[in-house]
Amino acid sequence: MYYLRCSEIKYAMKKIEMVDLASQYERLKADIDSAISGVVNSTAFIKGPDVRLFEEEL
């Protein structure tokens, strides 16, 4: 097993970029809210048609 020394850690760690989730959500709000509403209204949370389509798109 290999352990990093303190001096090596800063080189081994990757920088994490911050994202503005609020502004991303605002741009997509209508589509996201519509999709969530459709799933909730259908009550098909597990293995429903929307879940299947989402899995296929991944």
Q: Is the pTM of this model over 0.75?
A: no
Total residue length of the chain: 58
pLDDT one-digit tens code per residue, 32-44: 999 999 989 999 8
Domain boundaries, the chain: 19-57
Predicted pLDDT at 24: 94
Task: Compute the radius of gyration of the chain from its Cα atoms.
Answer: 20
pLDDT one-digit tens code per residue, 7-58: 666 666 677 788 899 999 999 999 999 999 998 999 988 888 998 898 999 8
